Amino acid sequence: MATRLTTPCSSSSTNFSPSSSFNNEAKLFTRFISMPRKYGLSTWVSHIHSKTHARKHFLLNSSNEHPLNAFSLQDAGLAGNPLAKERIEPPGKERPSIPMSEAEKEESTLSITVVGASGDLANKKIFPALFALFYEDCLPENFTVFGFARTKLTDEELRNMISKTLTCRIDKRENCDDKMDQFLKRCFYQAGQYNSEESFLELDKKLKEKEAGKLSNRLFYLSIPPNIFVDVVRCASHRASSANGWTRVIVEKPFGRDSESSGELTRCLKQYLTEDQIFRIDHYLGKELVENLSVLRFSNLVFEPLWSRNYIRNVQLIFSEDFGTEGRGGYFDNYGIIRDIMQNHLLQILALFAMETPVSLEAEDIRNEKVKVLRSMKPLKLEDVIVGQYKGHGKGGKSYPAYTDDPTVPKDSLTPTFAAAALFINNARWDGIPFLMKAGKALHVKRAEIRVQFRHVPGNLYKRNFGTDLDKATNELVLRVQPDEAIYLKINNKVPGLGMRLDRSDLNLLYRARYPKEIPDAYERLLLDAIEGERRLFIRSDELDAAWALFTPLLRELEEKKIFPELYPYGSRGPVGAHYLAAKHNVRWGDLSGEIYE
Amino acid sequence: MAALSSIHCRSYSYSPFLFSSSSSSINGQQFQRINFSSSGISKRFLPAKLFSQSRKNSYHGVVLMQDGAVAMPVNPVENEASFKKVKDGLLSSITSAEELKETAGFDVNKDESTVIITVVGASGDLAKKKIFPALFALYYEDCLPKHFTVFGYARSKMTDAELRNMVSKTLTCRIDKRENCGEKMDQFLKRCFYDSGQYDSEENFTQLDKKLKEHEGGRLSNRLFYLSIPPNIFIDAVRCASMSASSANGWTRVIVEKPFGRDSESSAALTKALKQYLEEDQIFRIDHYLGKELVENLSVLRFSNLIFEPLWSRQYIRNVQLIFSEDFGTEGRGGYFDHYGIIRDIMQNHLLQILALFAMETPVSLDAEDIRNEKVKVLRSMRPIRLEDVVIGQYKSHIKGGITYPAYTDDKTVPKDSLTPTFAAAALFIDNARWDGVPFLMKAGKALHSKRAEIRVQFRHVPGNLYNRNFGTDLDRATNELVIRVQPDEAIYLKINNKVPGLGMRLDCSNLNLHYAARYSKEIPDAYERLLLDAIEGERRLFIRSDELDAAWSLFTPVLKELEEKKIIPEYYPYGSRGPVGAHYLAARYNVKWGDLGAEQ
């Protein structure tokens, strides 16, 4: 099988972008985007230099509402915001180094500042992901990791804290300790207030020390509560933007809690950043099987004719966790499962699943198609949603708490910890096909999967072998995103033997068996993409708007009408209401069908 | 999953009727027709079957069908009129409706029908290796009627005990059916008897008939003759059996093994001769490949899975490959083979049958006649095979690891100057709307590097593939492929392009697979078990009808004749190799790459 030889850490787009034909502006600039990987390749830098003027001009005419235009601005690194302009001069002094010599190739630097470094996400995901990238040689040679938070810590203390969560992959044990030490030496800490420009100025100083006058690229990862997003962005943008390279900011959910607050947040962010500096992360899009969804669809002929209402009966997007809020319900209670999982993760997967074939694999092309899906969706009606909340449950002598037993949750909270919804896409491909979503906490399993149920065979010759319910004998494609990544296709098969008994067998691909290598964490992929300027897996403003526009009326209605959630026991299969919702649309949940789950 | 809870040993065509009582009127028509053709199977055996089978739950489905069939004679004229073809098969041997009613009234004598299976050529290899063991397996699984007897018939003088001794050596129990194995074997062997005689002597068969009658003890008698003898004595044996050892009041069926002639003429002559003594529906031409589990499953896969439905045509399928290879040569038994060659031995029958099953249109029902009608249509739509679309080979000797492997012509039973192909590859085309232009490639050979039988379906490449650049220059290497491995290690897998997990975007080809050994712990029954049971039950789906045979021969006869007349010299290939390279050039001409010789194997 022919595969392209690429370095293990090239980001998803880099395989393709060099081949783009340079027949228009957008394409031209995508080339720049793919270049930073090469860190200061002379042609790239000189190109920027020579184009600076033109680009600034372009900037004036551009509007952030047109991502393609904004897109073209950013990677000049010269920032599409007024603040950057001030800085265009000083870097000029450093520019004489251009054109760069071979030796100077190494002269660009990358600093990743984790804002909220003492937080949970930072410790569990971000630092380990950065280390994994370092281990795989995916980070540029001159990189620095900065932790930033309010807590006073020394560099040593930060390193000590981080080192506890760093691990090497099972298949990458070699020199693990060595590598860890090398990595930790690149980690530094700066304490400061999130809303203090002075603190960020101080940070800037430190960053500059590390950059030592080289070309500087800066990535800020905001791992902080949403209420201080804007403050941090303001301070970082004003005081700690890169002078001569790029500055990018990764933002984590929640992106607001409805259309208005999200719109407001976007507006505020855009005061200080251009669209293409904002990397809204949805870590589900970084999961291996979600990435593979497009490969599966677009590189296998056998799926091509099947991917429409002609053959697909329904699609199910299922997320479940086998634990509750466990004392951390404070944040969750303000959002609920619909905002926490459905409006972002599941809806993003849905859009990726249902989109038309994009013109290319470029970020803008894909995101354009996704937006089209979101905008084609039928408004959600209250009766197509059911909500649930887990209650206490005693099992095997153990007592599991109710959601409202969580001390951080108000006793009378109506926040759903479970929801199921039927969505429809009013376009030619999907008209009438129910897309069912289900997400819940404190259920019986931990699982995320996509299930595609096909129609039954018209005029099936083997009808009588299936009993009365033909729908139970249809094909089903399952992409199990986690745990135990797998793809399987349920087919009807003859049970070997002298009779003619049919049953359903799986044509399957269990990743663990086929690919013994550990699968990288979603955060690794996304961090690398952000570093390389690959935006495919990040959410564009208009995508976010469309997603909120779909869910906001419903969420408002749920809250205004104080819809009481159906209570379900901790560790159960969720409220039965989900079955009735499915039944209404002639669907049977694939994950609760009595078949043994592998 | 709602699976039909049928009894393991019941043959397929009956299972639908389990639900027929509850099924809607849509099925009424079909139901009636099947009833009728089943009465056409042989009216004499009919009541007998009813008796022997209604006794057991395991024959529940059959009972339902038979009920209908018994009811039929009330207005036989109408039925016969509307199903003339079947009727033709009936008339000569039909018993009167009165008689049917009469026998149907014998309910008290339900247990009084018998089945006797006479293996003609009992001392032969096939009989010992396949037929007796298959009969025993059926017996072990309780698939044989209560009163059954097995007779061995051959020229050698033998006592019953000697036959039993001989048979017992090859009987085995399945791995998962070891319980009481010894006991069951003893019980089975007690039902085995022997009679010696000449194959062309009616007297000897009269003698056999006497013995059979003894065992039948006046009960309703059904007789199945399995002719495991060389083709030159087929007719004699059939004549004698039919004249002197036919059942008087039940059915008489004859299973015939290949070769069914060696070209159109000889095959037609054979059929004509057989039909002097037998009706079409008494002749069961066996092609044991059709009894293989995965060949059986081919139709299930196609017709009960929606996902394959849109794919099954020239629009998505680029080519189909039918591959058969053996890892041994003739090994001193080339005498028979040399007269036929690999094309007649494997292609014209086994591979062509699979091809027809693969390519046929959806039949009206799963009934034998409906399926065979569709198969004949495929065969008749096939483009005549041209000489240049065939590559033949013959294995030569080869020394490997100090061992010398013989050439085909080193076989003492083979003439030194034999040009008989031991390998052949051919490109075939079906000139119909579904398959126009799609090459069906066949390949069959002896003394190759592996033992294998498989069907490979290569799909077209993705038009406008977004991931084109990940595949290098040869897009065809990155297409989907469905592989049905018939033997060994039964499996179905679908090759799909997949992203290699990791941070980059490397694609590779992975398999969505179903490995039978992993999924189904039960041992898969031998093809002969299924086919013998089908013959006993009168199920003809897996047997070859005369017109199918004619069509198959008319496809291959001209090219066979040309090969022989022009004395085409086969391309030599070393014993144990991958066969002559000519096969690759043949494939290349039709833009095909053999799937079994890719680098991934």
Q: Is the ipTM of this complex over 0.95?
A: no
What are A422's strand-pairing partners? A436
Instruction: Give me the mean pLDDT over the A327-333 stretch.
Output: 88
B19, B306, B308, B318: best to mutate for the A interface, most A CBs within 10 A:
B306
For residue A14, give how far its alpha carbon lies from the nearest alpha carbon of chain B (Å): 8
With a cut of 60, say whether residue B406 has pLDDT above it.
Answer: yes
Q: What is the pLDDT of residue A97?
A: 39
Residues of A in contact with B9 (CB under 8 A): 498-499
Q: What is the pLDDT of residue B598?
A: 63
Instruction: Give kind and range of the element (H or E) at residue A569.
Output: strand A566-569
Instruction: Give me the mean pLDDT over the B245-270 stretch.
Output: 92
Instruction: Give B86 or B134, the one with higher predicted confidence.
Output: B134
- Encoded tokens for B219: 């009960």
- Encoded tokens for B361: 């249109």
Task: Tell me if chain B has a CB within 8 Å of the CB of A11.
Answer: yes
- Cβ–Cβ below 8 Å for B493 and A507: yes
- Cβ–Cβ below 8 Å for A298 and B466: yes
This prediction's pTM: 0.78
Instruction: Give B96 or A134, the one with higher predicted confidence.
Output: A134
Instruction: Give me the mean pLDDT over the B537-560 stretch.
Output: 94
With a cut of 80, say whether residue B109 has pLDDT above it.
Answer: no
- Cβ–Cβ below 8 Å for A466 and B2: yes
- When CB atoms are compared, the residue of A16, A300, A504 closest to B469 is A16
Q: What is the pLDDT of residue A24?
A: 38
- Cβ–Cβ below 8 Å for A524 and B293: no
Tens of pLDDT, residue by residue over A23-46, are 333 333 333 333 333 333 333 333
Q: What is the pLDDT of residue B84?
A: 41
Residues of B in contact with A294 (CB under 8 A): 466
- Cβ–Cβ below 8 Å for B478 and A291: no
Give me the phi and psi of B374, to 5 degrees please.
-65, -35
Q: What is the pLDDT of residue B318?
A: 95
Q: What is the pLDDT of residue B41?
A: 37
Q: What is the pLDDT of residue A555?
A: 96
Q: Which of A47, A53, A66, A345 is catalytic?
A: A345
Q: What is the pLDDT of residue A12?
A: 44
Q: What is the pLDDT of residue A470?
A: 66
Instruction: Give A273 or A497, the one with higher predicted confidence.
Output: A273
A11, A355, A500, A510: best to mutate for the B interface, most B CBs within 10 A:
A500
* Alpha helix positions (H), A450-521: 511-514
With a cut of 80, say whether residue B85 has pLDDT above it.
Answer: no
Instruction: Give me the mean pLDDT over the B1-27 stretch.
Output: 38
Q: What is the pLDDT of residue B9?
A: 61
Tens of pLDDT, residue by residue over A117-143, are 988 889 999 999 999 999 988 899 899
Q: What is the pLDDT of residue B76?
A: 37
Instruction: Give me the mean pLDDT over the B375-388 stretch.
Output: 96
- Cβ–Cβ below 8 Å for A305 and B316: yes
With a cut of 60, say whether residue B223 has pLDDT above it.
Answer: yes
Tens of pLDDT, residue by residue over A560-570, are 999 999 999 99
Q: What is the pLDDT of residue B7?
A: 46
- Cβ–Cβ below 8 Å for B533 and A301: no
- Cβ–Cβ below 8 Å for A15 and B293: no
- Cβ–Cβ below 8 Å for A475 and B305: yes
Q: What is the pLDDT of residue B463?
A: 85
The pLDDT confidence band at residue B25, using thresholds 50, 70 and 90, is very low
Give me the phi and psi of B83, to 5 degrees please.
-130, 65
Task: Tell me if chain B has a CB within 8 Å of the CB of A505.
Answer: yes
Residue B80 contacts residue B87 (beta carbons within 8 Å): yes
Task: Tell me if chain B has a CB within 8 Å of the CB of A358.
Answer: yes
Residues of B in contact with A496 (CB under 8 A): 293, 490, 516, 520, 522, 524-525
Q: What is B168-185 written as a DSSP string?
A: HTT----TT--TTHHHHH
- Cβ–Cβ below 8 Å for A462 and B480: no
Residue B431 contacts residue B385 (beta carbons within 8 Å): no
Q: What is the pLDDT of residue B175?
A: 64
* Burial class of residue A419 in the structure, from the number of CB atoms within 10 Å of its CB (0-12 exposed, 13-18 middle, 19+ buried): buried
Residues of B in contact with A508 (CB under 8 A): 512-514
**Is B350 annotated in the active site?**
yes
For residue B438, give how far its alpha carbon lies from the nearest alpha carbon of chain A (Å): 17
Instruction: Give me the mean pLDDT over the B536-545 stretch.
Output: 90
Residue B485 contacts residue B513 (beta carbons within 8 Å): no
The pLDDT confidence band at residue B436, using thresholds 50, 70 and 90, is very high
Tens of pLDDT, residue by residue over B167-201, are 998 888 776 667 778 888 999 999 999 999 999 99
Spatial distance between the Cα atoms of A75 and B438, rounded to a whole number of angstroms: 50
- Cβ–Cβ below 8 Å for B497 and A515: no
Residue B65 DSSP SS3: helix
**Can the peptide bond before residue A305 be classed as cis, meaning omega within 30 degrees of 0?**
no
- Cβ–Cβ below 8 Å for A525 and B522: no
- When CB atoms are compared, the residue of A9, A492, A525 closest to B305 is A492
Q: What is the pLDDT of residue B40?
A: 35
Instruction: Give me the mean pLDDT over the A267-287 stretch.
Output: 92
- Encoded tokens for A486: 């797998």
With a cut of 80, say whether residue B50 has pLDDT above it.
Answer: no
For residue B100, give how far its alpha carbon lies from the nearest alpha carbon of chain A (Å): 29
For residue A274, give how far its alpha carbon lies from the nearest alpha carbon of chain B (Å): 27
Q: What is the pLDDT of residue A572?
A: 92
- Encoded tokens for B289: 């490949």
Q: What is the pLDDT of residue A495?
A: 83
Q: State the sign of the Cα–Cα–Cα–Cα dihedral B239, B244, B249, B253.
A: negative
- When CB atoms are compared, the residue of B467, B501, B514 closest to A298 is B467
Give me the phi and psi of B273, to 5 degrees please.
-65, -45
Residues of A in contact with B494 (CB under 8 A): 302, 489, 507
- When CB atoms are compared, the residue of A2, A9, A302 closest to B494 is A302
Spatial distance between the Cα atoms of B38 and B141, rounded to a whole number of angstroms: 25
- When CB atoms are compared, the residue of A472, A498, A503 closest to B143 is A498
Measured at the alpha carbon of residue A459, what is the angle toward residues B527 and B481, in degrees to the nearest 5? 55
- Cβ–Cβ below 8 Å for B466 and A360: yes
Q: What is the pLDDT of residue B226?
A: 94
Instruction: Give me the mean pLDDT over the A258-278 stretch.
Output: 93
With a cut of 80, say whether residue A529 has pLDDT above it.
Answer: yes
The pLDDT confidence band at residue A21, using thresholds 50, 70 and 90, is very low
With a cut of 60, say whether residue A18 has pLDDT above it.
Answer: no
Q: What is the pLDDT of residue A172?
A: 65
- Encoded tokens for A231: 């403050």
Across chain A, what does the average pLDDT equal? 81
Q: What is the pLDDT of residue B176?
A: 65
Question: What number of other Cβ atoms are within 10 A of residue A542's Cβ?
Answer: 19
Q: What is the pLDDT of residue B507?
A: 81
For residue B118, give how far its alpha carbon lies from the nearest alpha carbon of chain A (Å): 22
- Cβ–Cβ below 8 Å for B3 and A457: no
Instruction: Give me the mean pLDDT over the B58-64 stretch.
Output: 32
Residues of B in contact with A521 (CB under 8 A): none
Q: What is the pLDDT of residue B125?
A: 87
What are B445's strand-pairing partners? B325, B423
Q: Which of B60, B350, B515, B584 is catalytic?
A: B350
- Cβ–Cβ below 8 Å for A302 and B10: no
Give me the phi and psi of B448, to 5 degrees please.
-100, -175
Task: Tell me if chain B has a CB within 8 Å of the CB of A524.
Answer: yes
Report A:148-207 residues touching B (Cβ under 8 A).
none
DSSP strand E in A237-384: where?
A: 247-251, 278-281, 312-320
Tens of pLDDT, residue by residue over B264-314, are 999 999 999 999 999 999 999 999 899 898 888 899 999 999 999 899 999
Q: What is the pLDDT of residue B118?
A: 95
Tens of pLDDT, residue by residue over A479-520, are 999 888 899 999 888 888 877 888 888 888 888 787 877 788
Burial B438-461 (b: 16+ CB within 10 A, else e): bbbbbbbbbbbbeebbbbbbbbbb
Q: Which residues contact A267 (CB under 8 A, 6 or more apart)?
A: none
For residue A310, give how far its alpha carbon lies from the nearest alpha carbon of chain B (Å): 10
Q: What is the pLDDT of residue B106?
A: 41
**Residue in the block written with tokens 């006793």:** A411
With a cut of 90, say whether residue A321 has pLDDT above it.
Answer: yes
Counted across chains A and B, CB pairs separated by less than 8 A come out at 277
- Give the CA distances from residue A446 to residues A334, A391, A577, in Å, rounded to whole numbers and listed in that order: 23, 18, 20
Question: Angle, nearest 10°, between helix axes B45-54 and B60-71?
Answer: 140
Half-sphere exposure of A174 (CA within 13 A, CB side): 4
Minimal Cα distance from B492: which residue of A?
Answer: A507
Residues of A in contact with B504 (CB under 8 A): 6-12, 15
